Amino acid sequence: MGDFMEQIFNSLTQLIKEHNNILIMTHKNPDFDGMGSALGLQQIIYSFKKESYICMNNSELNNSLKKSYNLIKENNLYFNVVKKSNVDKLIDDNTLLIILDTHKKEMTEMPELIDKVNNIVVIDHHIKNKDYIKDYKLSYINESLSSTVEFMANYIKYLNKKIDSLFATFMLVGLEIDTNNFRLKTTDKTYEAAAYLIQLGADNILKQELLQENKDSYVKRQKLIEKSFMINKNMTLCILDNKIYENKDLASIAEELLQFEKVEASFVIGRIAKDIIGISARSIGKINVEEIMAKLGGGGHYTEAATQIKEKTIIEVERLLIDTIKEEK
Ligand SMILES: [Mn+2]
């Protein structure tokens, strides 16, 4: 453990101990990395004999997260949330807001909180965007970190604390999703975090159940993947039909394309709204896809990025992307 990380961990502990009414917030459309680290942090705060509240709107949960919440309830584990309609009651001078897995105000579950709360902590692993949250008590944004769960698991380990095995399982799911099964940004610290979660009892069978998808969506995706092709010696492209897809469909195809021979970067183009074409890009770590997506008005990280282009056809977007890649070389 480096001195620098120890300092960050100690400052975080200090801030937690100094404040009451601690709010934990991740990004909209939460995933297992954001929520897993929020749940882990909530247990730690509780071990300091402090209440905390995860800012959450139930309507936005995906099926696996809904299943997770039901499991928390069935097992009667400590779990505290606050909805938008009730959160104002918790805000005063002594409120601490801890933002996880994003550092952009607009991406957070309740952006208005950032103006209302004076004491803010940001912990994230995305490439620092120019509109990051500037007014904070503590900020740790490290793009070489695999996931927010990695930070949180190592924080829990540093404190020598334990959390329930169910929470450890959710955190491990987040870690595996964000690293695409230990393929991306994986360092010794990532494995240390995973090892600690397994030590805490993370359940591999439940983990796989939470990662499972239904067969139809799997088969549908494989059919789309079949149509992908190499655009040069190390990049592959998959162009979807003209149906409207969700961003996460594009992203999961791009991720899957990375496992094929010779592929160092993958791109998926598809319609995501009536007049918007999306591109999702992934890289195994040699090619900076964020740079390519930024030239097309988007952003993200080095290994995962995306953009949205208005009022163009899929073919026009394909041409734009290929020209941009050629310029890049
Ligand atoms: Mn993440």
Residues 133 and 110: beta-carbon distance below 8 Å = no
Instruction: Count how many residues are written for the chain.
Output: 329
Local structure of 242: helix, strand or coil: strand
* b/e per residue 67-80 (b: at least 16 CB within 10 A): ebbeebeeeeeeee
Q: Which amino acid type is present at position 269? A: I
Paired residues of 99 in beta bridges: 25, 122
What is the per-residue pLDDT for 221? 85
What is the per-residue pLDDT for 94? 96
CA of 307 to the centre of ligand 1 (A): 18
Residue-range domains of the chain with CATH: 3-211 (3.90.1640.10), 217-328 (3.10.310.30)
Give alpha helix (H) positions in 103-147: 113-116
CA of 319 to the centre of ligand 1 (A): 31
Average pLDDT for the chain: 93
pTM of the model: 0.77
Q: How many beta carbons lie within 10 A of that of residue 94, not counting itself? A: 12
CA of 189 to the centre of ligand 1 (A): 15
CA of 316 to the centre of ligand 1 (A): 31
- pLDDT digit string, tens, across residues 142-174: 989 999 999 999 999 999 999 999 999 999 999
What is the per-residue pLDDT for 173? 96
Q: Which amino acid type is present at position 99? A: I
Whether 285 has a pLDDT exceeding 80, the answer reads yes
CA of 315 to the centre of ligand 1 (A): 31
Q: Which of 159, 177, 199 is nearest to 64 (CA)?
A: 177
What is the per-residue pLDDT for 1? 61
- pLDDT digit string, tens, across residues 291-329: 999 999 999 888 889 999 999 999 999 999 999 999 876
Mark the residues whose beta carbon lies below 5 A from ion ligand 1.
33, 101, 147, 178
What is the per-residue pLDDT for 75? 97
82-88 long-range CB contacts below 8 Å, 24 or more apart? Answer: 82/23, 82/53, 82/54, 82/55, 82/56, 83/56, 83/57, 83/58, 84/55, 84/57, 84/110, 87/23, 87/53, 87/55, 87/113, 88/116
What is the per-residue pLDDT for 261? 87
What is the per-residue pLDDT for 2? 73
Q: For the packed helices 148-158 and 32-47, what is the interaxial angle rounded to 10 degrees?
A: 20
